[in-house]
Chain A
Amino acid sequence: NAGVTQTPKFQVLKTGQSMTLQCAQDMNHNSMYWYRQDPGMGLRLIYYSASEGTTDKGEVPNGYNVSRLNKREFSLRLESAAPSQTSVYFCASSGRQGKDTQYFGPGTRLTVL
């Protein structure tokens, strides 16, 4: 099993450009999450999906949209990137919302110029 995979690993954008970060898990998990991690800080929840077909806002959702494409895939979209969105983005999944350990992907390092 690959666990949680994320693409791309690195990305540089100009202000105003859009992009989608992809996440997939092969653990048959119901819940999936998107976090951002800024230098010297812990992770902050952007959006989560408790189960296929549902999505909810986390702590810092502004400037982002998500799509739970199917049980395996959960994408994060930046419609108009801003320098404040320069960060490392992590996707995670768990079997049951809040009742099982969250497993994290390797991250996408995004720089917005």
Chain B
Amino acid sequence: GESVGLHLPTLSVQEGDNSIINCAYSNSASDYFIWYKQESGKGPQFIIDIRSNMDKRQGQRVTVLLNKTVKHLSLQIAATQPGDSAVYFCAENIGGTSYGKLTFGQGTILTVHP
């Protein structure tokens, strides 16, 4: 099947900067997207999700943008903190009978320098 991929495998930022993590998807039938954060030795932690009928969704310090025209998803983290250092995964769900089965991208390593 089609897979989710990431443009940048690593991202280094200074504390206080804004971070942008990108994700490209190729399955035009995908209708639900999720961002997860994974710290070393731990399971993925839900950050934010967005459905295909939206193009932007905001949470606490995080914003997800969806551009269906170019099949692109991004995660913006405002005022990045050292505790944000982790691997970030985007995941897509095709919906329909496949609803609930996620396809994950490879991940982006975010490093925040004090």
- Contact yes or no, B89 A105, CB < 8 A: no
CB-defined interface of B71-114 with A at 8 Å, one 1/0 digit per residue? 00000000000000000010101010011111111110000000
Of A42-50, A64-72, A79-87, the one with at least 4 CB within 8 A of chain B: A42-50
- Contact yes or no, B100 A40, CB < 8 A: no
- Contact yes or no, A48 B43, CB < 8 A: no
**Number of residues from B at the complex interface, CB < 8 A:** 26
A79 to B: closest C-beta gap in Å: 24
Say yes or no for A101: interface residue by CB 8 A criterion: yes
In angstroms, Cα B25 to Cα A42, docked, is 14
Where chain A touches its partner, the secondary structure class is loop
CB-defined interface of B30-65 with A at 8 Å, one 1/0 digit per residue? 001010100001111110010000000000000000
CB-defined interface of A34-45 with B at 8 Å, one 1/0 digit per residue? 000000111111
A40 to B: closest C-beta gap in Å: 7
Say yes or no for A74: interface residue by CB 8 A criterion: no
**Contacts known (A98-B93, A101-B34); A50 close to B45, Cβ less than 8 A:** no
Query: Pick the contact of B100 from A41, A42, A48 — CB < 8 Å?
Result: A48
Which residues of the other chain, B, contact A98 by a CB distance below 8 angstroms? 32, 93, 95, 98-101
Which residues of the other chain, A, contact B95 by a CB distance below 8 angstroms? 98
- Most chain A CB atoms below 10 A, which of B41, B44, B91: B44
Query: Pick the contact of B106 from A31, A42, A97, A102 — CB < 8 Å?
Result: A42
Q: Footprint of A on B, CB under 8 Å?
A: 1, 4, 32, 34, 36, 41-46, 49, 89, 91, 93, 95, 98-107
Q: Which 7 A-B pairs have the closest CB atoms?
A: A98-B99, A42-B104, A98-B100, A104-B43, A97-B100, A43-B104, A101-B46
